[in-house]
Structure 1
Amino acid sequence: MCVWQWCSEEITKYISDNLPYVFCEQIGKEIRDISDEIPFEIPDSWEWVRLGSIVYNRGQMKPTSDFCYVDIGSIDNKRQRLGDTENIITPDKAPSRAKKIIDVGDIIYSTVRPYLHNMCIIDRQFSLQPIASTGFATMTCYSGLLNKYLFYYLLAPDFDNYANDTENSKGVAYPAINDDRLYKALIPLPPLSEQHRIVAKIEELLPYIERYGKAEEHITALNTTFPEALKKSILQEAVQGKLVPQDPDDEPASVLLERIRVEKQKLIKAGKIKKSKHESVIVTRDKIPYE
């Protein structure tokens, strides 16, 4: 088993004679200006860091016994949750991609078509050793980084734009971002106490957003079906005599019907139409002579 770790780096902000504020990154002895990479301003107590400097992964292994396989199908990407069903596989039937070791608290992030948000926090124990597909980037947070804070940032538009940018996500049908590009992403890091406050506020608001989303879906469905339903309702009201008020001075339909019958008889006598053998006459109950 091999644990992967990003190389040491440090991002600093300082005043220069040439530029009022410059963000520089130091890797080893090399120092370079990365001001054009900084996507937005952050509070003074925060720091910019590369994703790879604040997470690591637990390495890889080849299954030698039955294991719980976590692949893309294990994720509910509408809610970013791990499914309840365990996918238990024997080692002789293990997919070639079943290699990445994961544990409770880890974040797994699908690097294939990242815009689909196939990602989650591993939030429960498994009955057997869990192993994830190499289609995921697996992230274990160092102490001081709240996994939920990082998870929510990975869902945020800025990270989404980075992961799905054509410079980072390669391919046509199944664009994917490789681990090197992914771990180079810039992450705004607040103090730990503020991470907790941010997560608490997000989770306070999410139920409202979910309810709003369901209401919007209902309104969208209503807007789609309402015109046709309204048309049918108006037509139904019209033919039931409920759409407009009744005028007692109107000629009753029985008189109109009698004129139609007279006209029909004239057309029959003139040979223009044939008399129907199934002529129908509908009368109201009070005109029916007997039971």
Structure 2
Amino acid sequence: MQKSILQMAIQGKLVEQRLEEGTGEELYQQIQVEKQRLTKAGTIKKEKSLPETAEDEIPFEIPESWKWVSVGNTCTNIQYGTSQKSSQTGKMAVLRMGNLQNGKINYDSLVYSSYESDIEKYRLNCNDLLFNRTNSKELVGKTAIYKGEIPAIYAGYLVRITPILFDSDYLNYVMQSQFYWAYCQTVRSDAIGQSNINAEKLKRFFYPLPPLAEQKRIVAKLEEILPLCEKLQK
């Protein structure tokens, strides 16, 4: 049931479309302007724009007011975490792949770091997404959203994603969908005992972008419905 609801959400079938909320194309253009501003200010590095998805690559229909976009063209700060060894005590918590559970962060079993350079470089901001790039073939690609509950950095098997001018919770829900998991299974690289999805493959994940106000209504509806589904399953 949860999978079906998430699929409805990313196909524009969970909430109504409203003309006054604008379009995904308008939001996408705002994102590009903001990316250029951040690049010019030296806040982010300049990156090549990825090609837009071709008509024959579109996996399902979405509302006319939505737009197919890539993670690479709509997000920034896509970088691997610290490779330094953590310890049981230290100045700041280090989130690892085991802390990412069902789209949320579980703060049990924390380790810590006291490396000042790492704390400065990898410190998470509220609403950053974390992507698990190396894990078992069933779990590689799992994500969770950081809400700033405690100050934290993140470990090397994770990748930070910072959405630009759109709702992190919406993207996190997209990344719980069957559509997203099918992509992960297609692009993963397998080795003995583990699988990997690198940052370039993450950047090339295409997803449907609704207007911002509609994203927020989708998130609100999912946060209302999904807990009820969990209760019914228990």
Of 195, 200, 210, which aligns to 1:180?
Answer: 200
SS of the counterpart of 2:175? helix
The secondary structure found in structure 1 opposite 2:153 is: strand
Residues 268-287 of structure 1 deviation map (CA, whole Å, 9 limit, x = unaligned): xxxxxxxxxxxxxxxxxxxx
1:68 matched to 2:93? The reply is yes
Q: Report which structure shows greater RCO (CA 8 Å, sep ≥6).
A: 2
Measured after TM superposition, the shift of residue 171 of structure 1 is 1.1
Consecutive unaligned residues in structure 2, runs of 5 or more: 1-41, 85-89
Displacement of 1:101 in angstroms is 3.8
- In the aligned structure 2, how far is the partner of 1:58 from the partner of 1:5? 12
Matching residue within 118, 126, 146 for 2:167: 146
User: Residue 79 and residue 51 in structure 1: after superposition, are their counterparts in 2 closer, same or farther (change >3 A)?
Assistant: closer
How far residue 84 of structure 1 moved from its aligned partner, in angstroms, is 5.2
2:49 corresponds in structure 1 to 8
**What's the CA shift string for 1:81-132, capped at 9, x where partnerless?**
332564323339x9x9xx74422110101022363264211112435xx221
Q: 1:58 to 1:131 in 2, by over 3 A?
A: farther
Equivalent position to 2:146, from 122, 125, 150: 122
Contact 1:108–1:120 (CA<8 Å) still a contact in 2?
yes
1:203 aligns with 2:216: no
Q: Return the offset for 1:5.
A: 6.0
Kindly provide the CA deviation profile for residues 220-247 of structure 1, in whole angstroms up to 9, marking residues without a partner as x: xxxxxxxxxxxxxxxxxxxxxxxxxxxx
Q: Percent identity?
A: 26
Question: What is the one-letter code of the residue matched to 1:124?
Answer: G
Per-residue CA shift, 1:39-79, capped at 9, x if unaligned? 1111100001111111111756787x83321111323x246
C-alpha separation between the residues in 2 aligned to 1:150 and 1:156? 10
Q: Distance in 1 between matches of 2:224 and 2:163?
A: 23
Between the aligned partners of 1:68 and 1:110, the Cα distance in structure 2 is 17
CA distance in 1, matches of 2:46, 2:109: 31
Q: Distance in 1 between matches of 2:231 and 2:58?
A: 34
Q: Which of 116, 126, 133 is matched with 1:111 structurally?
A: 133
Decide whether the 8 Å contact of 2:129 with 2:145 is kept in 1: yes
Does the 8 Å contact 1:100/1:134 carry over to 2? no
CA contact (8 A) 2:188 2:196 kept: yes
Matched AA of 1:210: E
> CA-atom RMSD, angstroms?
3.2
Q: Work out which of the two has the higher radius of gyration on C-alpha atoms and give 1 or 2.
A: 1
Alpha-carbon offset, residue 175 of structure 1: 1.1
The aligned length equals 183
Corresponding residue SS for 1:171: strand
Cα pair distance change 1:156/1:79, threshold 3 Å: closer
Residue identity opposite 2:188 in structure 1? S
Counterpart-to-counterpart distance in 2, 1:112 and 1:81: 17
- Map of 1:15-54 to 2, 5 A cutoff? 34-54=54-74
In 1, distance between residues paired with 2:175 and 2:44? 22
TM-score by length of 1: 0.55
Q: Secondary structure at the match of 1:115?
A: coil
Given that 1:106 and 1:147 are in contact with CA atoms closer than 8 Å, whether structure 2 keeps it comes out as yes
Please show how residues 172-251 of structure 1 align to structure 2 within 5 Å. 172=191, 173-214=193-234
Name the CA distance, whole Å, in 1 between partners of 2:62 and 2:142. 28
Aligned counterpart, 1:169: 188
- 1:6 Cα deviation (Å)? 4.5
Who is 1:83 aligned against?
107
Q: Distance in 1 between matches of 2:142 and 2:109?
A: 16
State the secondary structure of the residue aligned to 2:59: coil
Measure, in 2, the Cα distance between the counterparts of 1:69 and 1:83: 10
